[in-house]
Amino acid sequence: MLRFVWTWSPSSTRRFNPFRLLSFLRRDRSHNATLTSSRGSGPTSTHDSDSYPSLLNCRSRLCLCRSAAACLGMATGSLHPPKRSKRLSKERSPYLLQHALNPVDWFPWGQEAFDKAKSEDKPIFLSVGYSTCHWCHVMEKQSFEDEEIGRILSDNFVCIKVDREERPDVDRVYMTFVQATSGGGGWPLSVWLTPDLRPFLGGTYFPPGDYGRRPGFKTVLLRIIEQVQCKSLLVTCTGVHTSPMMKMKVTSAPCSADLPWPSLCIVACLNKLVTKLSSTFCCTDGPVAFCLLVNLVFLMSFWAVNCAASEGAEALHMALHTLRKMALGGIHDHVAQGFHRYSTDSSWHVPHFEKMLYDQAQLAVAYITAYQVSRECLFAHVAQDVLQYVSRDLSHESGGFYGAEDADSLPTAESMEKREGAFCVWTASEIRELLSCVVEGATSGVTQADIFMHHYGVRDQGNVEPEQDPHGELQGQNVLIVRYSPELTAARFGLSVDRVAEVLASARARLAEVRRVRPRPHLDTKMLASWNGLMLSGLARVGAVLGEGALLQRAEQTARFLHEHLWDGQRQQMLHSCYRGDNMEVAQTASPIPGFLDDYAYVVCGLLDLFEATQNAHWLQWAEELQLRQDQLFWDAQGSGYFYSDPSDPMLLLSLKQDQDGAEPSANSVSAMNLLRLSHLMGQWDWLERSRRLLAAFSDRLVNMPIALPDMVRGLMAHHCTFKQVIICGQRDAEDTASLIACVNSLFLPYKVLILADGNTEGFLYQKLPILSSLVQQNGKATAYICQDFTCALPVTCPQELKRLLLE
């Protein structure tokens, strides 16, 4: 096998140069399953990979020029105090601020660090994580707060700390390297670079000391230093030639001229999902169950265009059953609403307790879609539940949303050490004490606690199995999970279903009061354009389906926040992030981070959803403006598709295109649908062609691994289905107009756009679509037209008739 490495060059350029040699570091696969088989036993894995991180096992294959003892002496030098840089204290990122007092001479990502590495000819240690990452906290406590390790790092490396949520472009490049060389990835991400930013070694979490045959972080550092001081650093990337995962450079291969044959991609994607879900009702393989909601939305979209076929019915059953399981499981916070990031088991019982904004946004959309197709009230209630959590706990008063809540917190105010899940779990004795009231009408002597503990599976010894709790953090604790239906619980205690619902609601409210006085988990107060764009979609979609004006007002507040704080009108570009200041104001860094592809794509999608929900053409106009700017900044004129970041950025080795839908959909997948929707909303067929070219650029991926891009497969379906334009002619605030709009919104029609023609011929829509002037009300009533490419069928005025026609 040919291995690609870099070696320290003694030449005048004083750089690392590529060279083919054997490695002195190799990857050990044997411990991988142990690392990821149970909750909290390994690094936080990547969202969009079924393979999980492994540590890199260091083994020297060289004649070392110094002994380990000598190297240790040189690495640590005199016992001077470790450098404590104040650079990170000037940053806005909550993650960087968490590390500001480490005994490590940290730099933020930027020219100062790069210049230092080149001038001093030092390798770079790059550490990437985020503020709510459990294993990032562990590595900080074990290694970055250790003074000896801090001294080794500061004396021998230029140490750079990166918030992956603040600089996803940097994270993606170096995660690609680690995935290419080890088969997995995750956070914390630990990568060693040459002074010109080329990676030569990478891994994820490293324990501080050696673990059996596996090297600890200190050992890895010393072995790298030893080779650097010998001027013969020999490190391998365990891939054949250049890894396929790292070959997506600025110049791409020409894309296919034709779209892939849709039926092959759709059926392959469907079969893979059905196989996966039929056995576990989880969205991912392996012991960890992520909320990969793109899979479930794909299944419901497949049903929408194949509702008469048995395959469509099976797809819908899989999606709805999975959503029910998640709603009833421990991954759902039954006391304080919202969902945790993932479950450590296939029954959705014991979660990793972190809560992410991007999950909540997509969950709201998935559950309201499930309600549209089933009319099952549970799904509408869960969608509202998610938005209640986000509005209460993740909202800034200006209208933006914070990024995440941590998994770890102090069990009590007097505790010295945080524990995962402490904020969310309960002992049986706590519940008995809090819910001691006898329930009238129930069998003799039954208390609220008896009913609650039965319904939610609470046990005296705790309901978390030891294999799900390798560190003993949940011993004797209970993660609430719905074990019985309301009907069965009612029968068990001789109560009506309504009375049981009242008892359980009262009990949850009491527990919520108690939780509010517990020490809260850390809140990451970054506000990202991309995730706020996802949240905008969630608010708009739920508000439109349920006809809740308050949710639509909140959605418009979010859109105004994005325009005011994350849109640079002077430069005509999105900004990636803003922050909560010391006085609760919205703050920005001295050099704001320009937006990435997903900042544009997710916000455009949110604006289109908001336009269809409110029929306020201002939002459509801004969506058009953003899409045009996205095309200018990120479109690959040679290979088609969109780059994730500015391809001219000199600080990035690669210009990557997202080709996988994971915990967040690929921005290319979202853009394919955005372009299609814009073309049908505005009659600009050049956007339709661009959408086709985008899909063609990913044709190889769509044909050979469609399961990696279920959201893009949805876009492919859209190009081969009848895309409908539903135009309502009527007065904006009239009751009959509202009835027709409500009829359209009640249905899940994934391949349609909704337009209100209110007679304002001077407005933006009429200027873009002159055909609207030819569509009129019938007999003075609000009238609906169902059109294809603005060729319209006969008008209807009755909501029931409109529903029948839309479902044909």
Looking at the fold, whether 216 and 334 belong to one and the same domain comes out as no
Residue 728's DSSP bridge partners are 756, 784
Q: How far apart are CA 512 and CA 506, in angstroms?
A: 10
Query: Is residue 321 one of the residues assigned to a domain?
Result: yes
| pLDDT at residue 82 in the model | 65
One domain for residues 228 and 141: yes
What's the rounded Cα separation, in Å, for the pair 638 and 641?
9
Residues 228, 283, single domain; the answer is: no
Closest of 363, 348, 354 to residue 482, by C-alpha: 348
475 DSSP 8-state letter: T
Helix (H, G, I), strand (E, B) or coil at 720: coil
Q: Do residues 395 and 402 lie in contact, with contact meaning Cβ atoms separated by under 8 Å? A: yes
> Is the domain of 186 the same as that of 327?
no
Domain boundary, last residue among 524, 559, 590 = 524
Mean pLDDT for back-to-back runs of 10 residues, the chain (808 residues) = 30 34 33 35 47 34 34 48 80 96 97 97 97 94 97 97 98 93 91 94 94 91 88 42 41 58 90 80 60 94 95 96 96 98 91 96 99 98 99 98 97 95 98 97 92 98 93 96 97 96 98 98 98 99 98 99 98 97 95 97 99 98 98 95 93 91 96 98 94 95 95 95 95 97 98 96 93 94 95 96 95
Distance CA 596, CA 644 (A): 6
Question: pLDDT tens-digit profile of 518-549?
Answer: 999 999 999 999 999 999 999 999 999 999 99
Asked if residue 587 belongs to a domain, the reply is no
67 and 206, same structural domain? yes
Positions of E strands within 75-209: 106-108, 124-129, 158-163, 186-187, 189-193, 199-203
**339 neighbors 333 (Cβ within 8 angstroms):** yes
Bridging pattern class, strands 791-792 and 586-587: unpaired
Domain of 745, CATH number, reads 3.40.30.10
CA angle 253, 298, 800 (to 5 degrees): 130
How many Cα atoms are found within 13 Å in the side-chain-facing hemisphere of 613? Answer: 29
- In this structure, are residues 730 and 758 in contact, taking their beta carbons and an 8 Å threshold? yes
Is 466 part of a structural domain of the chain?
yes
230 alpha-carbon distance from chain centroid: 43
Give residue for tokens 């603040």. 166
Chain-centre distance for alpha carbon 738: 35
Tell me if 42 sits within 8 A of 205, measured CB to CB.
yes
Can you tell me the distance from the alpha carbon of 443 to that of 441, in angstroms, rounded to the nearest whole number? 7
Can you give the residue range of the structural domain that contains 360?
A: 276-376+405-524
pLDDT of 316 reads 97
Q: Which two tokens stand for residue 102?
A: 């480490």
For residues 102 and 83, give the distance between their C-alpha atoms in angstroms, rounded to a whole number.
Answer: 9
Structural domain total, the chain: 3
| CA-to-CA dists, residue 387 to 55, 357, 375, 563, 593, angstroms | 38, 10, 19, 22, 28
Task: Examine the domain organization and report whether 202 and 290 are in the same domain.
Answer: no
Measured on CA atoms in the order 558, 691, 574, 47, is the torsion positive or negative? positive
Residue 529 lies in a domain: no
234 lies in the same domain as 321: no
Co-location of 432 and 304 in the same domain: yes
* 14 Cβ neighbours under 8 A, 6+ residues apart: 118, 121, 195
Distance CA(52)–CA(41), nearest Å, equals 12
Residues 303 and 445 in one domain: yes
